[in-house]
Amino acid sequence: MQRNDLAPFTLHVPDSVLEDLNRRLDSVRWPDEIPGNQWKYGTDLEYLKRLVHYWRHDYKWRDHEKVINSFKQYKVKVAGIDLHFILEEGKTDKSEPLLLSHGWPGSVYEFHKILPMLTDPEAHGGNQNDAFTVIAPSLPGYTFSFEPGQVRFSLEQIADAFYELMTKVLGYQTFVAQGGDWGAFVTSRLGFCYPEAVKAIHLNLLAVRRDPKMVESATAEEKVFLDQLNNFLKDETGYQWIQGTKPQTLSYGLTDSPVGLAAWLVEKFHTWTDHRGDLDGYFGRDTMLTDIMLYWVTGAIGSSFWPYYARMHGPWPIPVGETVKVPTAYIEFPKEILSPPRSIAEMFYSDIQQWTSCDRGGHFAALEQPVSLVEDMRKFFRKYR
């Protein structure tokens, strides 16, 4: 497999798909709402009604389709599937290859703000010597890396597929990698399995095991995290259990109903971002709807659940007793799902060289705080060029 096997990809959603979406948005059957909900028991009804009205009457898909198509995209046969990825060359001959991995419920669209900053830093307040050539694949089973009936991929298999893409297809002997959410797990697994190729990794989420008993004599800082973990396991993991145990059942409703899909994803945007009461103003309705649209038009929501099932029915991606040994950097945002202290992080990453704490931001770092994320990446990866 070589680069001349790459097939250029351009996104164009047929008008018939958009017309069908509009018909569905015009005929929503709304549920009632639990008294006093206000996001406590799930997505707020009045908020969702306003968002759906905007989606139907004001949102312009073709404008956002153009944004996605402004990046060079390809498909190539990897691990038995047609893997989709963005490949944007850096502006200098010495641009470092950088693998960006997204997570759930995200997509490569998450990176549309940071891609120009990474490939052309001089045009965005940086130094041209910090330029990267960015490779951003859609995870297998996600959006453009999905076809009906396609084999499902675990996190371990995704990491192997990305290694194949980087080394055997694109020909990079070494590269650096960054990820959040499942992308952080994939990036960590790449560093664990392929240290000869992965020079360093940068994360905005740490793939530490979610075991409240992982520490016997917890420090005060560790106790704060363990309390956070217990609360997360009690109140915030319902989506993981259904996606990780009966993914097929859930897929019917979310594949058939755009409003059901929006409710499922918007709740995560609300819970996991640092919006401080103004989700639309902070995160943006168009941003949320474009991400939702990518799942809708590809019909890939059901297949996107599979990493949860594989994770819940298999071992932790970093084997018990082992650590990721490649140089690691972590940038911590206050509204991240979980925020383990460094002492716990070092149980899983044995060479943490950079640890940055930010005062604003959340789970979707590339969308929420792109400048902070990019500057931290530039700083860390500079010594591995």
Residue-level pLDDT, tens digit, the chain, 385 residues: 467 789 999 999 999 999 999 999 999 999 999 999 999 999 999 999 999 999 999 999 999 999 999 999 999 999 999 999 999 999 999 999 999 999 999 999 999 999 999 999 999 999 999 999 999 999 999 999 999 999 999 999 999 999 999 999 999 999 999 999 999 999 999 999 999 999 999 999 999 999 988 888 899 999 999 999 999 999 999 999 999 999 999 999 999 999 999 999 999 999 999 999 999 999 999 999 999 999 999 999 999 999 999 999 999 999 999 999 999 999 999 999 999 999 999 999 999 999 999 999 999 999 999 999 999 999 999 999 9
Eight-state DSSP code of residue 362: B
Predicted local distance difference test score (pLDDT) of residue 360: 97
Strand positions, DSSP E, the chain: 7-8, 73-78, 81-88, 96-101, 132-137, 175-179, 198-203, 328-332, 352-357
pLDDT the model gives residue 2: 62
278 class by beta-carbon count within 10 Å (0-12 exposed, 13-18 middle, 19+ buried): exposed
Longest CA–CA span in the chain (Å) reads 60
Q: Which residues pair with 177 in a beta bridge?
A: 99, 201
Helix (H) or strand (E) holding 156: helix 155-163
Alpha-carbon distance of 172 to 290, in angstroms, equals 32
Backbone angles phi, psi at 88, to 5 degrees: -115, 115
For every residue of 288-336, DSSP letters joined together read HHHHHHHHHHHT-HHHHTHHHHHHHTS--SS-TT--B-S-EEEEE-TBS
The answer to whether residues 296 and 261 touch, using CB atoms and an 8 Å cutoff, is yes
Q: In 10 A of CB 36, how many CB atoms?
A: 7
Q: What is the DSSP string of 46-82?
A: HHHHHHHHHHHHT--HHHHHHHHHTS-EEEEEETTEE
Q: pTM for the complete prediction?
A: 0.97
Question: So which residues are the catalytic ones?
Answer: 181, 308, 363
Q: Which of 105, 30, 18, 29 is nearest to 56 (CA)?
A: 18
Three-state secondary structure call for residue 180: coil
Q: Could you identify the residue written with the tokens 């890939």?
A: 300
- Give the type of residue at 91: K
Cβ burial, residue 91 (10 Å; 0-12/13-18/19+): middle
235, 223, 325, 275: which is closest to 47 by C-alpha?
275
**Cis preceding-peptide flag for 105 (omega within 30 of 0):** yes
